[in-house]
Amino acid sequence: MQKIIAQLSFIGVFITLVVISLGAWVRLTDAGLGCPDWPGCYGILGIPDTEAELNKANKFYPNINIDVGKASREMIHRYFAGALGLYVFVLSYLSIKYSSIKYYIIPASLIILIIIQSLLGMLTVTELVKPSIVTLHLMIGILTAVLIFWNGMHFYPVNINQNNNDTKLVLITLVCILGLIIQIFLGGWTSTNYASLACTDFPKCSGEWWPRNMDIIKAFSFINLPDINYEGGVLSNDIKITIHFIHRIWALFLTFLFGILFFYIFYIQNINYYKKIGFIIFIIFVLQIILGISNIIFSLPLMIAVFHTVNAAILLLSLSALLYYSTDKGIQ
């Protein structure tokens, strides 16, 4: 049964990545308010596409121009998110049933995260895609994927046949994970504030190596935001440039951190299993850099932008695997 739970967990990770990609698709196509209400859409549970449903929608929301395409994208995202929620509840139940009591924290945390995600999904609509809420929604979604993946690794241990408790590797990996979490937040904050193209060239930012008139305080104001519609972005260009540029600067620092990790894996430690995971992390990391640069050079193509978000989650998953297997873990 433990192997089945592991397989169900890995399937759950895939479903979560699909939901994350759909969320990015919705956000990047300005469909976050494709349905002005929640959990329904213009007063119905499905997508308003018949004449009667459209008339009903116009009656309830006379001041909103109904875009069936945006409504469809938003509802598809909600359907998948709802299915994922049910899947996680079942997975958590099985995980609790077939593991020791001291492991309950992971499946219990998953249940809590799914409930929080549901509330954030509602607030995304009711608070008119407020950047702080949408960014947190993305972060919790990626954290959900990580915990499901961790659950799968717990029920599917790998026998490395060597002493795999490497304290230095654990420390370096933890630092990289923390740095990546900050970068994912900065990327989400850049996207939700519509600052992805604030710098129109690369490696310079609008022709400058260090943009003038940046305002870090205003760029990272998370509380007491006005109750307005944030779709399309409301910040000034200077503030958007600040957000975008900080995302770039942190990417450089993160490259330095990952460089230390790769050096340690490939040149200091001697366990081949870590080298294999390290090589996978290296490929994903390089791909992430290419995707980030491509977003700027090619003016944010939809598929590249969506994959940039999903690949960030995959990179965090790969680091989680390295962290897990560099400590003494196994079925309890």
Q: Return the pLDDT at 328.
A: 64
Q: Which two tokens stand for residue 152?
A: 């799968």
Mean pLDDT of the chain: 93
Span 77-98, average pLDDT = 96
Query: pTM for this one?
Result: 0.94
Q: Return the pLDDT at 162.
A: 57
Point out the least confidently predicted range of 68-82, 154-168, 203-217, 234-248. Answer: 154-168
Measured CA to CA in angstroms, residue 22 lies from 4, 10, 105, 264, 310 at distances of 27, 19, 28, 36, 10
Task: Give 3-state DSSP helix, strand, coil % of the chain, rounded to 5.
Answer: 70, 0, 30
Q: Return the pLDDT at 294.
A: 97
Span 136-162, average pLDDT = 89
> Is pLDDT above 80 for 160?
no
DSSP letter string over 235-268?
A: S-HHHHHHHHHHHHHHHHHHHHHHHHHHHHHHHT
Residues 301-330: tens digit of each pLDDT? 999 999 999 999 999 999 999 999 888 654
Measured CA to CA in angstroms, residue 110 lies from 13, 100, 325 at distances of 12, 17, 21
> Is pLDDT above 90 for 222?
no
Q: Return the pLDDT at 53.
A: 87
> Is pLDDT above 50 for 149?
yes
> Is pLDDT above 60 for 331?
no
> Is pLDDT above 60 for 164?
yes
> Is pLDDT above 60 for 291?
yes
The amino acid present at 216, given as its one-letter code, is I
Helix-then-strand count for the chain, H and E: 10, 0
Residues 184-209: tens digit of each pLDDT? 999 999 999 999 999 989 999 988 99
Distance in angstroms (rounded) separating the CA atoms of residues 19 and 35: 17
> Is pLDDT above 70 for 119?
yes
Q: Which of 226 and 299 is assigned the larger pLDDT?
A: 299
Residue 127 DSSP label: T
Distance in angstroms (rounded) separating the CA atoms of residues 239 and 218: 7
Which residues are tagged catalytic? 74
Q: Return the pLDDT at 272.
A: 87
Do the Cβ atoms of 300 and 199 come closer than 8 Å? Answer: no
Span 121-147, average pLDDT = 96
Point out the least confidently predicted range of 108-122, 161-175, 190-204. Answer: 161-175
> Is pLDDT above 90 for 23?
yes
Q: What residues have CB less than 8 Å from 56, skipping those under 6 apart?
A: 42, 43, 44, 48
Residues 59-74: tens digit of each pLDDT? 888 888 889 999 999 9
Q: Return the pLDDT at 193.
A: 96
Helix ranges (DSSP H) in 127-166:
131-155
Percent of the chain with pLDDT over 70: 97
Q: Which two tokens stand for residue 301?
A: 């193509």
Token match 């400058």: residue?
A: 208
Domain ranges (residues) in the chain: 1-156, 160-332
Q: Return the pLDDT at 332.
A: 38
Distance in angstroms (rounded) separating the CA atoms of residues 310 and 16: 10
Q: Which of 222 and 209 is assigned the larger pLDDT?
A: 209
> Is pLDDT above 90 for 157?
no
Alpha-carbon 260 to chain mean position:
24
